[in-house]
Chains A and B, each alone.
Chain A
Amino acid sequence: MIYFDNAATSWPKPPQVKEAMVRFMDEVGANPGRSGHALSVEAARIFYEARESLSSLFHAKDPSRIVFTLNATESINLALKGFLRPGDHVITSSMEHNSVMRPLRDLEKRGTELSVIPCSEEGTLDPQEVEKKIGSNTRMIVLNHATNVTGTLLPVREVGLIARKHDLLFLVDAAQTAGAYPIDMERDGIDLLAFTGHKSLYGPQGTGGLVIGVRVKEKEMVPLKQGGTGSRSEFEEQPDFLPDRFESGTPNSVGIAGLLAGIRFIVEKGIEKIRKHEMDLIEKLIGGLKEFPQVRIYGPETGLGRVATLSFNVAPLSPAEVAFRLEREFGILCRPGLQCAPAAHRTIGTFPEGTVRFSLGYLNSKEQVDRALQGVSRLARE
């Protein structure tokens, strides 16, 4: 079996991820920071270490400003709904996933003004178009770092500079890049970084977070929920300090134990090495697919300006049929359709049928790419 659906969730995970989770269940198990006993402290230590590793990975300045959530979607909802009020204006791109689009459309119904900047057919964004839309009531710019449809990288650093210049909040959806592409919140001008743990950070599902930059006034961000934090228990009001302000209720401790092992795996390998391997694979894949006249590739056709996610179609077959046959006849698991990003497909001209998406990861091999190319070749030549 060949797993090419890493943009949905990475699989397999490095073995140390499962081992850390089993160790947590066998030897720790307690509720972090909720009691004074050794196991509760040990559980809290896992969270502390995970915050520190993530802070260093993203060049964030203060680990206490990392809030754990279930996934990037929850993090994005927290940042958008925490800050945006009726009358505020927010700018985004036409390549966003529904994790950004749906909360924005909901906010729009409640009176927040929304501008969606059209991207090119390759999924690229002109930062000047973003700047042109900035008005007196603009509060935030939100952008995905790399799209989950074509793998195109968006000009985060350039837009970050624009956000700083106009003193706007800049929220980046790093679901497709955290762990696979270098992120430097300071250099890239990112104020709020939403990440997921179960993709390129190789953690389990149900882990994610929001990094709240040092410029952000967190007291202006309204929590999505309130509840027990293990701190200030004598008060019935939510604590106002980080990370507790946004972390109520028992967290996914076993998941964070796995995520910490995933992050350590990445740090040990090095993001540059991971990226090189992934780009070698994707360039080989693109090179092979370009041999078939029936195949149309969407997005950048080199390793520059992209991550290891590729959308294509095989004429005259539908994406669903290609994906089904690749699985049944060649054991290749991929994702056809709209990949939860209708706006992105409208932008690249593939709405409503969508595309076939191959999303590769560090644990895929050149042999797997060769076998996938053989499969596509068979379908293309029919």
Chain B
Amino acid sequence: MSQGVILFPSIHFVLQAEKIVKGKGFLIDLIPVPRQLSSDCGVCMLIEWEQKDKLYALLEGEGVKIERAYPLPQKEKTSSGE
């Protein structure tokens, strides 16, 4: 299954998002922002790419500020866990 990441403006929103999605059946992890996406030094949310739309709907519905989402190239897959 292909993976992706959701980027947020700051760590506050990453943690807010993590709290909201926890226990709702999504496979997510917090990982450092991949260097090719942003030179930011923070963390982002690693997701299953096919769950992206559902996650967006859930998070935006709760008022979380999201920056962007990116699919990750298959070969650079990072191990994930909840």
Measured CB to CB, the residues of A under 8 A from B are 32-37, 40-41, 44-45, 47-48, 51, 62-64, 229-234, 239, 241, 243-244
A32-B11, A244-B10 known; A48 and B16 CB under 8 Å?
yes
Known contacts A41-B30, A62-B63; A232 and B11 CB within 8 A of each other: no
Bound form: Cα–Cα A193–B19 in Å: 26
Contacts of A45 in B (CB 8 A): 15
Number of A-B contacts (CB under 8 A): 68
Bound CA span A231–B13, Å: 11
User: Counting CB contacts under 8 A, is B40 at the interface?
Assistant: yes
Residues of A within 8 A of B9 (CB): 231-232, 239, 241, 244
Judge whether B43 is part of the interface by a CB distance below 8 angstroms.
Answer: yes
Q: B41 near A: Cβ within 8 Å?
A: yes
In contact, A36 and B42 (Cβ under 8 angstroms): yes
In the bound complex, residues from chain B placing their C-beta under 8 Å from that of A63 are: 12, 16
**Nearest B residue to A240 by beta-carbon distance?**
B9
Q: What are the nearest 8 A-B pairs in CB distance? A: A36-B32, A33-B11, A231-B10, A48-B15, A44-B11, A234-B39, A36-B43, A241-B9
Question: Is B65's beta carbon under 8 Å from chain A?
Answer: yes
15 new A-B contacts at CB < 8 Å, known A64-B65, A241-B9: A33-B10, A34-B42, A35-B32, A36-B32, A36-B43, A41-B43, A48-B19, A51-B12, A63-B12, A230-B42, A232-B9, A234-B39, A239-B10, A241-B65, A244-B10
What range describes how many residues of B lie at the interface?
Answer: 20 to 34
Q: Which residue of B lies closest to A32 (CB)?
A: B11
Query: In the complex, which residues of chain B have a beta carbon less than 8 angstroms from the beta carbon of A34?
Result: 41-42
Complexed CA–CA distance, A51 and B16 (Å): 11
Q: Are B41 and A232 neighbours in the complex by a CB distance under 8 Å?
A: no
Contact residues in B for A37 (Cβ distance below 8 Å):
32
Supposing A36-B32, A36-B33 touch, asked if A234 and B40 sit within 8 A by C-beta, the answer is: yes
Q: Is B27 an interface residue (CB 8 A)?
A: no
Q: A36-B32, A48-B15, A48-B16 are in contact. Are A229 and B10 (CB under 8 A)?
A: yes
Contact call A231/B65, Cβ cutoff below 8 A = no
B79 within 8 A of A: no
- Chain B residues closer than 8 Å to A64, beta-carbon distance: 12-13, 16, 65
Contact partners of B33 in chain A: CB under 8 A: 36
**Pairwise interchain contact B38-A44, C-beta atoms closer than 8 A:** no
> Complex Cα distance A231/B10, Å?
6
State in angstroms the CA–CA spacing of A236 and B81 once bound together: 35
In Å, the complex CA distance between A41 and B40 comes to 14
Q: Which residue of A40, A62, A231, A243 contacts B40 across the interface (Cβ within 8 Å)?
A: A231
